[in-house]
Structures are given as C-alpha cells and as structure tokens.
C-alpha cells in the first residue's frame, strides 16, 4: 500500500498476535482480562484458514500490546476489515462493536490512556442473523473469520483530517474537487501539547498535486467537525483510463496532519448502451473475483493480488467484478495502477423479501455501503457500484430496499453509475433504478446445453433492450465448473474442455458474432472455497466453487488460454460506436401507434377505433355502432418465403404481375405488400393478420411440402423473415394500423423439431416484438389450434393457453394475446379465459345467422369476461347482399376479417393469400370488401 501519511504518526499493528480459542462462548459473557492466550495468530489473516483452526467456527480473542506516545492528542485504531463480528477492548474496557467484514472502521481510544496498553479484540466467525445480518451461511462462498485486513494505530494531534475525497469535475481542462472532512479538538488550550488549532486564524491548508502546491491558505478553524472544499484546475494533468492508467499524487495538509492519496482524473458516464470513460466507449472484458485463497482465506497477500492482476492482464482483461463484497483497497490500488476497471459491490447474495423487508437488514446494508464508498471513493479503477447480487429484484415487496440502497449510493456519490446483478431479467421490477443493466445467467451449465447459449443470451438482451432501451448491458456472470486437471475424452461437465468450449461460445457470441454488450464478467477468476453444508457441497465438488479459469492456487485451467486468445483479439478492436441492439430489424424508435382494449372495444392511441361512427344498415336503416371494432383482412403471406428448393419454383411471378415475370422473390413480395398498405388503410382497414409461418399459399391444401417458417427447427428466429416483418410492422405503426401477428400455423408447425423448440420460438417471437418497442401489435398464438394437422401437443386447443399465458407473462402484460379456432367453432373455456380478445373464423359457416349465433355463443362461454370479439378469417364474399357475414358480425358488435385466396382459373390480381399476389385492391372481390368497409367505417 502506498504511503498515506507523512506527518501523521501511523504504526502498523500487523504481525503475530496472541490468540485464544473461545469456541461456543457468548461474547457478552467473556471477561477479557481473564483469558489465557495460548496460541498465536497472524494479522492480517484468517484463523480458520490456519491449519490449527481450519474450518472451525467460534468466538476467538486476539491480543497485543500497543504503545501510545505521551504527547499525542488522540489515539485511534483503524481496522481494515474484521470477519465478521468483533468487539474491541483497550485495557479491558469495551470500546466498540463492528459487524460485517470487508470494510474499514476506526476505534477511538480514550485520551487518558498513555504508554503501553492492552488491545484485545473478540472476533467471531459464527453465523448469527441478528448480530451479523450481512453474512449468512447459505451464500456461495466460505466466510472465513479473523482480522483479515491490516490494523494501524494512528496518533492524532488536536486537529486532524477525517477523510479526503477527490472527484473529477471536468476532464477538459482536468479539474478535480477535493473535499476534506476534519475535526478540531475543542477548545484548544495552552496545555494542549500539539496544537496548531487556532480559532483566531493561523491554520495552514495546503493542497499539492505531484509535488506542486496548488492551494496554500491560512484559515480559521473552529473546534468541532468541519468540511473544506476546493476545486482545482490542473491543466497539465493526464487523464486516467484503463489503457493509460495515469495517476497523480495528491497531498492534503491541514495544520500538522496530512493525507496522501493517489488519484486518477477520469469521468465515467453511460450513454446510449455504452459505458464511457472520458467520453470514450469501453468494452469491459473480465471476471468475477472472489478475494480468497485456500492458504490465506480472505486475507489475500499483496503478492497474490499482484499475481492476480498479472494473470488478468495476461488474459487481456480490463475488468473485475468484485463478487460479492468490497474488494481490498490494496487490490483497488493495484487496479488503479494497472488499468483494471472494478465493479465494487456491497455484500449480498440471493436475498428474498424476508431480508429485504427487514429494517435491521436494510440498516446494516446502509452502514456497510457508507463504509464501502468511503474505502473506495478515491480509486479511479472503481468505476461503478453494485449491490445485492441475485436478490429478489422481481418481487415488488423488495423494491423499497433497492430504492433505499441505490438511493444511498447516489447520495454518497453522484459520479459513478450504479447497478446490480439480476438473475430475473424477464420479470425484474427494479431495473429502472439502475444506470447499467447487469444479468447473471448459466445456460449450458445449470440448464440446457452449450448450443443453447447464443439464443438464451439473445433472448435476455432483447428483453432488456425492450424494457431498458438505452442502458448499457453487462453479462455479469456466466460460466462452467471445471476441476483442475480433469481432462477427459467425453468433455462433459466438470472437465476443463467443457469449460473452455462454453466460455469460447459465450465470448464469441457476445463480442465477435455480435457486439451489443458493454461488458462481460465471466464467472469466475479463481476457484473459491464455499459452504460445506450438505445441500451445497453435493453440487460443489471438493467444497469449492470450481468455475474459476484458474484454480484456488491460481494454476491455469485449459480455459485460461481460450479466454486469453479471445479477449486479446477482441481488445484490439474498439467497441462499436453505436452498439446494435438485439433487434433483428430496425432499432426501436419512438412508436406512433398504441393499441389498447377497454371492455369489448379496441382503442388506438387512447381513442376508440372509428370513434363516433354509426352505420345504418342499408336494408333496414337500423343503426349499428362501429366505434371500437377492428375490421381486418387476412394478409398472412406478407413475409412468405419457401426454403424448399423443389417447391420454390411454384411461386414464380407470372407475366401479369405488376413488375413483370420473374422467380419468386420474398423481398419483392414484402415491398409490394408495404406499398399497398396505405390504400387498405384509406379504405378503413385498421388491422390485418400476418403469420410467422404464413398460411396455405393455395388457400386450402391437403399437403404442404413448402417450407415457410420464420423459425429455425430449434425455434430461433430467421433474420431475413424478421427483417421483412419489421418493414411491415413499422409501416403499420406509421399508418396507425394494428396488425395481428400470428406465431404458428398448422401447415408449418412441423418445421419445429420438438416442444422445447416451440416454446423457444414463442419466447423469441415475443422478445423480438418487445425489443422492437412495438405497442401496436396483437398476438394470435396459433392459427386454428383445433386443426388436427398440428403436430405439437402444446399448440393444440387443450394446451395452447399455456403458451398464451407465457407470452403474457414474458411481456409483462404488454402484448395482448389470443388464438383462433377453425371456422364455425366457438372457443372452449380454457381459450376464452386465456384470451385478451376473442378470434373467430367464419369459413364454412352456412350463413349470417350462424355468424350472429357464434358471437352470442362465444359470449356465453364460461370464462368470457366481456372481451372484444372479432372474426379474423372468413371466406364469404356477398358484400352487396342485404345480409352477409360482415354485416352479421356488425349486428353483434364484432369485428370481421376478409379472407381471400385465388380460385381456380383466376389471375394474379385475385386473392390475398395465394403467392405471389397483387397486394393492391385489384379485383372485384377485393373491391367489394373494401367498398362495404368504407361505407361502414365512413372512411374515404
């Protein structure tokens, strides 16, 4: 640790202390003057890492004699960290208790004590949720006990500096603010031995940077606590950055006291998905690091810390997440010097509402956060604060705790972004509180396989992107266990090759195949000992968390070289200036059209559709309410393609196609579709159904050998299909239309290999819609889910509600969901219950009376709660008749949807479902529908 004081008398108390094992004793019952100290223990050190006391939990006592010079003002003992509860005594008198390891605290001594004195510290490493709420047995790391960081005796005069905090105000010109908190004894008196305190003037304040005095003043210092603040412009100073970690030495002197600190001038900001240091985007590549070692426990010696930095640098890292507690300031100092950015985190691990709604727990966290901030404040390497690893951020009951803790961090330090690692990315309710979104996940380890990792990461990023648009994203944990030396031809879990393969997949996907993440912290740098509770150790061979790329003694595993190769390769390219969000089409932009349901009516942008419109039936003059209905047409082939080369030729453009003959062209098809949309909209069409697997390109078909699916067999999204869909949905958004996006079609669900793929496809489609920021789409989970041609059980009528609910949950209710059934079928209770709006099909219905009856019956199904009802497929065309299906639907206040396919002998202008097609209003049938629509809706 670099020198911190020149004037102040500071004595290190590190070394071998006398030690007594007190085991089960209650600290309140211990007479510290009557103890027998028959062992010795190293300070700093962990008594339970030492062979004599390895693995033991209990109360202990440490003792040593200190010498307080006569002629000093105050004595103060500064403990760098004690695990995890202690009580400090001087000459048998208790002075203070402290709970919680990993942070510094001070004990002020009685001014009357001079000469030699006996310092005894009771140290307890037992778990006790009342006394030490921050250290709980279930955490996934071993809680070593002891005086784990250095101890110092400070001898203070009558005026002393409590702390100095330095922050960067500007980088051009480099400008820092220095805040000195001091205390002056009251009142200074003639017999005060050292006493520059001068209440009438005469105390010197001096601030020097790299030896150059920048402030030199004489001040009046009144007794008591005080704060001095000076802003220093230092034009020649060099900035700190991970690639050029320039440091400056700041010396603050007040009277006879001083504090020396090494500072880095740098600014951390977040903007548009990026983390910037001094305005330059950085890509954070690194590891989670537990500060632990089998021989030293948490009291990792500086040589090991330096070796850690060496290995991190060797692997091309510029980032460490201090999991899951504040890192030793000595480590931060090394990170300052070597350009490693640190996420400094308060203690926390998987807390539920039980803790997070407990005032005492939250209070302990707040105190701990104060200490963490004060320890790390001046370290330029500490670029962000974190809290509460993997806690219940998805439980609204926990939100107040997140608000309190993150609020405290912002209050203490407005210069650093805040974050927490969430393992509930899909239903997190606190992410709006952070500056950087961080997610932990373990695909390929705790669930599914390495091959599933890219899709899982994409899903998470897409979701986060949709909800937390412009925030940077850090993958804050991902990894696999590997037992050091275990290389086996099967390369299964726990082998070094498995870990290598998994990490290679992750890094490639995040930074080579894509470039959307602001950072990655691999879980983890070194293996670390963990809880030996049975439920834990059975999944943690050797009692260690084995996911390190080096073992606990820092011996590299196979993955070390993989990470090294990839990080070094990636590190040579700058992060993209405008990172691509995980939207396969356009970037989410401000959307224009927002659909909602109120009762049985649809609203667009807060207004009923066709607001105020009444239509008088021509035959009878009876008034019908049109407002709130959704008239639509079945246009499911807007993104059609055929990936089967043997059938693709069927869809060649004929001579009579506008634009002429040519081979099938999916982009041309989508372009023609988009070009026709304004005409539909002008005629009163507010909605159309489009499907990720289309519909029969022949209207009705027995067999469907063509391959038209926006999903890969495993349920991933096809970029080409989704890009086409984005063009259509973007245009609809501009036009104020509300498309119904269907996910599955019975003629193509066979393209998905199994149920897991169907689920994956559902999630992917949902995440994609959200990631696009769409607020104008309705979801039709499956087209005609009672059709016997569906292969996957989960898509059939009796189970499809599972997926509908999944879409709703995943979108946090933002997507309105339904499904349709075959013509003439009234939906069963499970589907009515699961639907936000009800879709009916009118094909095969014998006449308008049955249409009316279907709507009536639907409204009587158990589970019906007044949702809007609409037909979104009906192949009836008697638009000029006095009564027809469309009018019948209107009679019952239900929307209606036109379904038109090309009939035998017809040309390219006919039909909307037969590809390729003229998407314009190009035939008598189409004109019939659009005329009646125009009349009904009053659109011109």
CB 478, min distance to ligand ADA, A = 9
Residue carrying the six token digits 């209050």: 411
Name 131's Cβ contacts closer than 8 Å, sequence gap at least 6.
Answer: 85, 99, 124
Is 422 or 818 the residue whose CB approaches ligand ADA more closely?
422
CB 552, min distance to ligand ADA, A = 14
Is 458 or 477 the residue whose CB approaches ligand ADA more closely?
477
Is 87 or 547 the residue whose CB approaches ligand ADA more closely?
547
Beta strand residue intervals within 626-754, DSSP E: 632-634, 687-691, 740-745
Is 140 or 496 the residue whose CB approaches ligand ADA more closely?
140
CB 434, min distance to ligand ADA, A = 17
Is 328 or 477 the residue whose CB approaches ligand ADA more closely?
477
Of 20, 88, 95, 90, whose CA–CA distance to 58 is shortest? 20
CB 901, min distance to ligand ADA, A = 52
CB 420, min distance to ligand ADA, A = 11
CB 343, min distance to ligand ADA, A = 13
CB 442, min distance to ligand ADA, A = 6
Is 324 or 810 the residue whose CB approaches ligand ADA more closely?
324
Is 131 or 424 the residue whose CB approaches ligand ADA more closely?
424
CB 498, min distance to ligand ADA, A = 14
Cis omega before residue 84 (within 30°)? yes
Beta strand residue intervals within 158-255, DSSP E: 159-171, 174-184, 203-209, 212-219, 224-233, 248-254
Q: How many helices (H) and strands (E) does the chain have?
A: 18, 45
Encoding tokens for residue 570? Answer: 């990636």
Is 545 or 637 the residue whose CB approaches ligand ADA more closely?
545
Residue 310: count of CB within 10 angstroms of its CB: 13
Is 180 or 457 the residue whose CB approaches ligand ADA more closely?
457
CB 559, min distance to ligand ADA, A = 15
**Alpha helices, DSSP H, located in 171-228:** none
Is 389 or 914 the residue whose CB approaches ligand ADA more closely?
389
SS3 of residue 94 by DSSP: strand
Is 63 or 324 the residue whose CB approaches ligand ADA more closely?
324
Asked if 496 and 482 count as a contact pair (C-beta separation under 8 A), the reply is yes
CB 539, min distance to ligand ADA, A = 8
Q: Indicate the pairing of strand 159-171 with strand 607-608.
A: unpaired
Of 363, 296, 358, 370, whose CA–CA distance to 326 is shortest? 370
Residue carrying the six token digits 């219950």: 833
CB 139, min distance to ligand ADA, A = 8
Cα 404 to the center of its chain, rounded Å: 19
Cα separation, 742 vs 709, in Å, equals 12
Residue 256: count of CB within 10 angstroms of its CB: 19
Cα separation, 125 vs 144, in Å, equals 7
SS3 of residue 805 by DSSP: helix
Is 459 or 926 the residue whose CB approaches ligand ADA more closely?
459
Is 356 or 840 the residue whose CB approaches ligand ADA more closely?
356
Q: Which residues bind ligand ADA (CB under 6 A)?
A: 140, 323-324, 389-390, 440, 477, 523, 545, 547
Of 225, 244, 440, whose CA–CA distance to 349 is shortest? 440
SS3 of residue 750 by DSSP: helix
- What is 316-374 written as a DSSP string? T--EEEETTSPPPHHHHHHHHHHT-EEEEE-S--S--HHHHT-HHHHHHHHHHHHHHHH
CB 384, min distance to ligand ADA, A = 17
598: which strand partners? Answer: 601
CB 430, min distance to ligand ADA, A = 16
Asked if 617 and 611 count as a contact pair (C-beta separation under 8 A), the reply is no
CB 547, min distance to ligand ADA, A = 5
- What is 60-75 written as a DSSP string? EEEEEEEEE-TT-SEE
Of 562, 544, 563, 547, whose CA–CA distance to 495 is shortest? 547
Exposed (0-12), middle (13-18) or buried (19+): which is 149, by Cβ within 10 Å? buried
- Residue showing the smallest CB distance to ligand ADA in the complex: 140
Exposed (0-12), middle (13-18) or buried (19+): which is 813, by Cβ within 10 Å? exposed
**Proportion of the chain in helix, strand, coil states, percent, rounded to 5:** 25, 25, 45
Of 120, 112, 116, whose CA–CA distance to 94 is shortest? 120
CB 146, min distance to ligand ADA, A = 22
Is 289 or 501 the residue whose CB approaches ligand ADA more closely?
289
SS3 of residue 672 by DSSP: helix
Is 251 or 477 the residue whose CB approaches ligand ADA more closely?
477
């Amino acid at each position: 640790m670099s020198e911190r004081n020149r004037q102040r008398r500071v004595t290190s108390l590190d070394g071998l202390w006398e030690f007594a094992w007190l085991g089960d004793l209650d600290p309140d019952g211990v007479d510290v003057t009557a103890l027998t100290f028959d062992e010795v223990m190293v300070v700093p050190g962990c008594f339970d890492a030492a062979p004599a006391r390895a693995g033991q939990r209990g109360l202990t006592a440490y003792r040593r004699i200190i010498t307080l010079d006569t002629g000093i003002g105050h004595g103060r003992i500064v403990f760098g960290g004690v695990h995890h509860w202690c009580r400090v005594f001087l000459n048998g008198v208790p002075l203070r208790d402290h709970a919680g390891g990993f942070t510094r605290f001070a004990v002020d001594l009685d001014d009357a004590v001079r000469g030699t004195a006996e310092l005894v510290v009771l140290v307890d490493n037992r778990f006790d949720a009342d006394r030490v709420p921050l250290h709980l047995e279930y955490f996934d790391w071993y809680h070593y006990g002891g005086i784990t960081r250095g101890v110092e005796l400070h001898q203070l005069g009558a005026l002393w500096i409590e702390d100095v905090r330095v922050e960067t105000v500007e980088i051009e010109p480099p400008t820092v603010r220095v805040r000195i908190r001091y205390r002056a004894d009251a009142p200074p008196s003639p017999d005060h031995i050292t006493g520059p305190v001068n209440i009438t003037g005469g105390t010197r304040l001096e601030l020097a940077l790299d030896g150059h005095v920048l402030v030199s003043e004489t001040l009046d210092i009144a007794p008591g606590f005080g704060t001095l603040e000076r802003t220093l412009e230092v034009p020649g100073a060099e900035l700190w950055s991970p690639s050029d970690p320039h440091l400056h030495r700041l010396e603050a002197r007040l009277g006879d006291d001083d504090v020396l600190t090494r500072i880095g001038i740098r600014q951390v900001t977040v903007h548009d998905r990026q983390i910037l240091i001094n305005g330059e985007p950085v890509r954070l590549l690194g590891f989670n690091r537990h500060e632990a070692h089998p021989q030293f426990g948490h009291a990792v010696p500086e040589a090991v810390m330096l070796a850690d930095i060496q290995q991190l640098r060797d692997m091309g890292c510029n980032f460490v997440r201090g999991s899951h507690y504040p890192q030793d300031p000595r480590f931060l100092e090394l990170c300052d010097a070597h350009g490693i950015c640190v996420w400094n985190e308060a203690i926390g691990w998987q807390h539920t509402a039980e803790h997070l709604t407990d005032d005492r727990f939250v209070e302990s966290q707040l105190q701990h956060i104060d200490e963490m901030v004060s320890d790390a404040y001046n370290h330029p390497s500490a670029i962000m604060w974190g809290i509460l690893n993997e806690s219940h951020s998805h439980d609204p009951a926990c939100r107040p705790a997140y608000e309190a803790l993150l609020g405290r961090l912002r209050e203490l330090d407005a210069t650093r972004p805040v974050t927490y690692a969430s393992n509930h990315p899909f239903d997190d309710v606190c992410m709006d509180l952070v500056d950087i979104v961080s997610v932990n996940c373990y695909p390929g380890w705790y669930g599914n396989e390495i091959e599933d990792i890219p899709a899982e990461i994409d899903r998470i990023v897409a979701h986060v992107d949709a909800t937390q648009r412009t925030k940077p994203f850090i993958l804050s944990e991902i990894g696999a266990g590997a037992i050091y030396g275990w290389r086996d031809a099967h390369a299964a879990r726990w082998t070094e090759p498995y870990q290598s393969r998994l990490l290679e997949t992750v890094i490639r996907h995040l930074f080579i195949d894509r470039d959307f993440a602001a950072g990655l912290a691999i879980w983890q740098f070194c293996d670390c000992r963990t809880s030996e509770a049975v439920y834990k150790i059975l999944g943690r061979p050797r009692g260690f968390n084995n996911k390190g790329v080096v073992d606990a003694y820092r011996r590299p595993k196979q993955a070390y070289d993989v990470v090294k190769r990839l990080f070094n390769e990636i590190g040579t390219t700058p992060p993209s200036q405008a990172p691509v969000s995980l939207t396969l089409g356009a970037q989410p932009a401000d959307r224009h059209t927002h659909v909602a349901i109120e009762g049985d009516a649809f609203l667009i942008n807060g207004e009923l559709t066709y607001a105020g419109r009444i239509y008088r039936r021509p035959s009878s003059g009876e008034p019908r309410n049109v407002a709130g209905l959704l008239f639509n047409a079945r246009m499911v082939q807007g993104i059609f393609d055929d990936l089967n080369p043997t059938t693709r030729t069927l869809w060649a453009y004929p001579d009579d196609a506008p634009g002429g003959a040519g081979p099938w062209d999916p982009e041309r098809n989508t372009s023609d579709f988009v070009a026709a949309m304004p005409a539909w909209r002008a005629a009163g069409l507010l909605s159309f159904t489009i499907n990720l697997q289309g519909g029969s390109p022949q209207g009705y078909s027995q067999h469907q050998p063509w391959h038209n699916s926006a999903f890969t067999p495993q349920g991933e999204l096809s970029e080409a299909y989704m890009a086409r869909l984005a063009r259509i949905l973007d245009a609809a958004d501009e036009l104020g239309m509300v498309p119904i996006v269907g996910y599955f079609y019975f003629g193509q669900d066979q393209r998905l290999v199994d149920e897991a793929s169907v689920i994956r496809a559902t999630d992917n489609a949902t995440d994609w819609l959200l990631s696009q920021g769409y607020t104008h789409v309705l979801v039709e989970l499956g087209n005609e889910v009672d059709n016997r041609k569906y292969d996957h059980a989960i898509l059939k009528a009796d189970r499809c509600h599972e997926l509908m609910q999944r879409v709703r949950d995943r979108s946090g209710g933002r997507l309105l969901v339904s499904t349709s059934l075959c013509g003439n079928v009234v939906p069963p209770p499970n589907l009515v219950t699961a639907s936000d709006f009800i879709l009916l099909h009118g094909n095969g219905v014998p006449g308008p009376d049955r249409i009316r009856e279907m709507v009536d019956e639907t409204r009587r199904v158990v589970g019906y709660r007044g949702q809007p009802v609409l037909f979104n497929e009906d192949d009836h065309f008697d638009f000029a008749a006095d009564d027809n299906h469309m009018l019948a639907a209107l009679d019952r206040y239900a929307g209606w949807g036109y379904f038109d396919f090309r009939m035998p002998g017809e040309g390219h202008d006919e039909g909307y479902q037969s590809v390729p097609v003229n998407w314009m209003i190009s035939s008598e049938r189409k004109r019939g529908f659009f005329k009646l629509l125009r009349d009904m809706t009053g659109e011109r």
